[in-house]
Structure 1
Amino acid sequence: MPHRSTFFAALALTLVSSTAPVAVMAQDSTPAQSEVPSSAADLQLKALYEAEWPWRMKEMARLPETPDNSRGGPSDHLPSVTPESQQRRHDYWAGLIEKIDAIPPGQLSHEEQINADVFRTWLWQQVSDIEYKTYEAPLNSDTFFWAGINPRTPYSGADDYTLYLGRMRDIPRFFAENIANMRRGLARGYTVPKVSLQGRDETIVPFTRPGKDNPFYKAFAEMPDNIAPERREALQAEALKTIDNTIVPAYTKLLAFMREEYIPGARDTIDAYSLPDGKAFYQDQIRHYTTLDLTPAEIHAIGLKEVARIDADMKQTIRDAGFDGSFSEFLEFLRTDPQFYAETPKELLSLSAYVAKKMDGRLKDTFNRLPRYRFTILPVPDEIAPIYTSGRGGLDSCLMNTYDLPQRPLYAIPALTLHECNPGHSFQAAYALEAPDRPDFRKSTYFSGYGEGWGLYCEWLGSKMGIYKTPYEEFGRETFEMWRAARLVIDTGMHSMGWSRQQAVDYLTDHTALAPLDIKNEVDRYIAWPGQALAYKLGELTIRRLRSEAEEELGDDFDQRPFHDTLLTLGSVPLPTLEREMRRFIASEKARISEEKEQTTTSE
């Protein structure tokens, strides 16, 4: 799963939905739009998205892009999340959908057809979530509106710190609006399930500490040297004052609300179907995260088929490892033998860094174009590590969870690193960042089916690139693939077929080598975040199917480098758009190769 920061993931929850955004730019080798004559339909569509973008920036409290801040950034306040602001967004975005639908799609140029697909799909996601009032549950099991407002790394200039202080001072208002929304959710039975909230209140506690021990001060303790000492000292003094007088009281009030009101009042059910209009809600959440129109029953069947296939692969790998015992005995061996576990956080982080660097050596065989932007590998912050997933990648950093090392098997780190860091989410975001110029909204749109599908595809790609050096590492990859296939069964099982939480835990325990803590956290995540976990496997299956089509159509002339370049150049798009565009690429490559061969034959 990608991250830009935990806060901006949670911000999407509080605004309209529970998707975690990441900066993703689209690009391809077609001429820039300004070089192609625009039709009336093109101009109509452009007018809509060019007007929407600055409106969105204002609504979401974001600064526009500037020459010295090419990615834009957060402003000096946090967004409004009141029902009135949500309705304002709903009405504006719903009106845009109507206007897009009035434009004859056949009159759009090729590039604007893609823009229309992306823009309309994103708009529908926002409108749908507002209609279901998902902002009344602005958190899930590991993403919270109160976390990540403090940066993971220091800012580069004094002005950034001034903006940061402004956001810190706005936290009481922001929290009050979220708490009011959550009380409305409580009143109508729309809450995060109680079981997925256990222990999540502990993530608030570090922010109730005064002074320099508060996580908000960390960025001030590590300010860059280019800020003059007197300015640095003034900003640090203001930070300490704001922490004690604003941050600590706001988080203390939030902690009391969570412990005394929200968690005790949260629903005991775990399934989406038990929510208001739950059946329709779950179907729309499936569409939201996968961008596909599949029913829960269809997805469940796909999952069972994939589980059976991967199970056979895993058993073959056990034989390759020379293990003389049953599948369950092999899992017990992996979960208990000390050779598979790090003794220090540095050991785990070092292995991840080594795998990322090892993949660097194979990038030239995988892509023709490589991004210049670099990411770092960091541990998951202490305040969220106990309930956080194993890793999460994004443009600036790739997080590895070093909490409770006996629950973090080293044989899984290669696959995890490929998915989250390189060439997965961090690489993917950097590749997209350096794209040719395209509409601003395309630079910040993220569809889970596309992004998570690529991440899981990268795990599989590691087998072809020689990244996994032992049967245990290959089994780690397979257990991760099984984990994503099992999600299709578990998510649909719990939310639409009456599965219990324990059934889901047992299913993952029996079919994967995941550590018990990971299994617990993951199941609670699926409970709290209906549909999101479906995107990974369905997206990967789409990409692998398209690769198989390319290999079949192009035969010995297939080259994975332009295939991957085209896929990432396209940027984050709905899966149906990805299929259409990649098949267009296959047809173009086939015609190009045929023409080259014909010219060679003629010249001879």
Structure 2
Amino acid sequence: MNQYRAAVLAACLLCATQAPAAPRPTAADAQFRAVYTQEWRWRQGERLEDAEDDTSGIRATLPKIDPATQQARQRYWEATLRKLDAVATGKLSAPQRIDFAVYRAQVAALLENQRFREYEKPLNADSAFWSNLTYEARKTFRTPAEYRAYVAQLNDVPRYFRDQVANMRAGLARGFTPPRVTLQGRDQSLVAVAEAKPEATAFYKPFATMPATIPVAEQASLRAAALAAIRDHVIPAHAQLLKFMREEYVPNATEHLAAERLPDGRAYYQSKIVEYTTTDLTADQIHQIGLAEMAKIRAEMAQVMRDVKFDGDLPAFLHFLRTDPRFYAKTPEELLMRAAWIAKKFDAKAEQYFGRLPRSRFAVIPVPPEQAPYYTSGRGGPGVYLVNTYNLPARALYSLPALTLHESAPGHAFQMPLALEQQGRPAFRNAYISAYGEGWALYSERLGTEMGIYETPYEVFGMLSYQAWRASRLVVDTGVHAKGWTREQAQKYLMENTALSSHEVETEVDRYISWPGQALSYYLGEMAIVEARARAEQALGGKFDIRAFHDTVLELGSVPLPVLKSRIDRFIADGGKGPYPAP
């Protein structure tokens, strides 16, 4: 871990001094490029990207995940790190210094996951390997070859599930599972497939409407093959997995909540902190940061209560917000339309705050019903803003503007495509770093205040509640995983400090319990961006241009937080000059 931090920080110190002009490649550049080119080609062949982020074509098989393959991956990344340590980072050209810092942190995190055998715990309260399979069905199919490859992939589901179950049994044997309480009811997404007709499953959706360029007879043949694959392989595999979950896995999953109670738990939790925050902070330090930030946000909340002349304390105000019908949509369509309207409000402001906009657009769609009961309130990414329309009394309209800014634009559905559209960047730079990505999305919520997106004090309070929600994660995540907090204690803290509904509190706490460290990335990432902006504003004075600052942050793509800090140091040294020519 110390070696990882030293490499990232050393590279970042060099990043801060790089010159604007692209220097001539060095021998060290060639050495580094050979390492990452070979590893990335191998990684692509291993199918190691997250299903949600996989932008490759349709493949005929699912990834290999058996123990021998996993051990080989660990050895490969160990060898890769040794090669990276042999690179003279001081001799890298300026652009390669940033690439090196990003890449080494990425490989170090992948290796840590192998060392702790994360593959033996391929699920949490938020998502699971079987629900991730449906992302493939959302891709655009154009040719008969792609459809045939997808049918072959569907036929491979039983093998893939068997290997996942074998890994999960190994995790069970050593007490390495999500806490049992967080798995209750999560099998409903399996039921939705196991008890469905083939044509009613998400796996059949690509075949419902096929390109007119494919002859009708060939369409019929492909549809028949898909129905057979789903009927004979996909549905039975889900039924068998459902039986395993109900009869073996969930009853024997660990009762302990804390990551530090897992095998080698203290080191395991610290590895997740490093992965998700890209810092060397300890659990105690993060816990204290969370408490301090929560105090600041509560002071802002109190001001909003005075603005609306509410006669009562914070618990009474939260009860009012959770129960007054004016704050809740009557139909799923109303919620979706409000979300789309808010997204369009951003469009009117975009050019005032950003010099470069992504070419990619996004759709506003509901979360699939089989996932919705335990899914977050929304999620965004390239091409999509998912809005959870399940349990409408839990989906407050006063929080919808903050949610929309976070998940759509200028948050995830804006930042991710913009990064993907950058030219001349190694492919590994498109991998998602949570501290940066979630930090930017949370910063986007705050930015909505400047942009005039929040039209009422209640919507401002919704934004503050969401800020408190993420700051409280610093307290709750470390409380549960390092300080012995109970599930009820964590739920109580969120109920008392945010306007989240009880349903959201329950699903969110279970997510933090079963996914150690991930919740820490949001607020610490936002703090890094806010601090960077404050430094730039103070140093540049009247030369500070908000568009240039935002373009500089977004042009980087996902990077560790020390890399972001170094890049803004250079932004300041360059007099606030953005990465793109002025229009």
In the aligned structure 2, how far is the partner of 1:155 from the partner of 1:34?
Answer: 42
Q: Which of 106, 116, 119 is equivalent to 1:132?
A: 116
Q: Are 1:523 and 2:489 counterparts? A: no
The Cα of 1:31 is off from its aligned counterpart by 12
In the aligned structure 2, how far is the partner of 1:33 from the partner of 1:241?
Answer: 58
1:597 corresponds to: none
Deviations 1:493-521 (CA, angstroms, capped at 9, x unpaired): 01001111100000000010001111000
Q: Which moved more, 1:237-246 or 1:205-214?
A: 205-214
For residues 316 and 259 of structure 1, do their structure 2 counterparts lie closer, same or farther at Cα, with a shift above 3 Å needed? same
The 3-state SS of whatever aligns with 2:133 is: coil
CA contact (8 A) 1:125 1:288 kept: yes
Q: Which of 564, 577, 580 is equivalent to 2:566?
A: 580
1:3 corresponds to: none
- Aligned letter for 1:317? V
CA contact (8 A) 2:22 2:95 kept: no
2:534 corresponds to: 548
The Cα of 1:214 is off from its aligned counterpart by 2.2
Q: Which of 233, 244, 249 is equivalent to 2:220?
A: 233
1:564 corresponds to: 550
The Cα of 1:338 is off from its aligned counterpart by 0.8
CA contact (8 A) 1:154 1:222 kept: no
Structure 2: state its 5+ residue gaps: 1-14, 579-583
- Aligned letter for 2:524? L
Deviations 1:247-298 (CA, angstroms, capped at 9, x unpaired): 1110000000000000000001100111000011101110010000000000
Q: Are 1:220 and 2:207 counterparts? A: yes
Aligned-residue CA RMSD (Å): 2.1
Q: Which moved more, 1:153-162 or 1:32-41?
A: 32-41
Q: Which of 294, 305, 326 is equivalent to 2:313?
A: 326
The Cα of 1:590 is off from its aligned counterpart by 5.2
In the aligned structure 1, how far is the partner of 2:25 from the partner of 2:432?
Answer: 26
1:141-156 equivalences under 5 Å are 141-150=125-134, 151-152=137-138, 155-156=141-142
The 3-state SS of whatever aligns with 1:189 is: coil
CA contact (8 A) 1:207 1:216 kept: no
1:67 corresponds to: none
Kindly, what percent of the aligned residue pairs are identical?
49
Q: Which of 406, 423, 447 is equivalent to 2:433?
A: 447
CA contact (8 A) 2:23 2:94 kept: no
1:103-122 equivalences under 5 Å are 103-122=87-106
In the aligned structure 2, how far is the partner of 1:261 from the partner of 1:549?
Answer: 54
In the aligned structure 1, how far is the partner of 2:171 from the partner of 2:423?
Answer: 43
In the aligned structure 2, how far is the partner of 1:456 from the partner of 1:349?
Answer: 21
Q: Are 1:255 and 2:242 counterparts? A: yes
Q: Are 1:377 and 2:361 counterparts? A: no
The Cα of 1:229 is off from its aligned counterpart by 2.2
Q: Which moved more, 1:153-162 or 1:548-557?
A: 153-162
In the aligned structure 2, how far is the partner of 1:191 from the partner of 1:534?
Answer: 20
Deviations 1:133-162 (CA, angstroms, capped at 9, x unpaired): 111000010110001322246534433322
For residues 399 and 357 of structure 1, do their structure 2 counterparts lie closer, same or farther at Cα, with a shift above 3 Å needed? same
1:7 corresponds to: none
The Cα of 1:74 is off from its aligned counterpart by 4.1
Deviations 1:556-593 (CA, angstroms, capped at 9, x unpaired): 2211101010111011111111111111111112599x
For residues 34 and 73 of structure 1, do their structure 2 counterparts lie closer, same or farther at Cα, with a shift above 3 Å needed? farther
- Aligned letter for 1:262? Y
Q: Are 1:242 and 2:229 counterparts? A: yes
Aligned length: 557
Q: Are 1:465 and 2:451 counterparts? A: yes
Q: Which of 74, 86, 98 is equivalent to 1:90?
A: 74
1:290 corresponds to: 277
In the aligned structure 1, how far is the partner of 2:306 from the partner of 2:144?
Answer: 59
The 3-state SS of whatever aligns with 2:364 is: strand
CA contact (8 A) 1:282 1:530 kept: yes
- Aligned letter for 1:463? T
Q: Please report the TM-score for the alignment, with normalisation by the length of structure 1.
A: 0.89
The 3-state SS of whatever aligns with 1:99 is: helix
In the aligned structure 2, how far is the partner of 1:296 from the partner of 1:226?
Answer: 57
The Cα of 1:61 is off from its aligned counterpart by 7.4
- Aligned letter for 2:343? A
2:486 corresponds to: 500
The 3-state SS of whatever aligns with 1:377 is: strand
Q: Which of 59, 62, 65 is equivalent to 1:81?
A: 65
Structure 1 segments of 4+ aligned residues over 4 angstroms from their partners: 30-36
The Cα of 1:429 is off from its aligned counterpart by 1.0
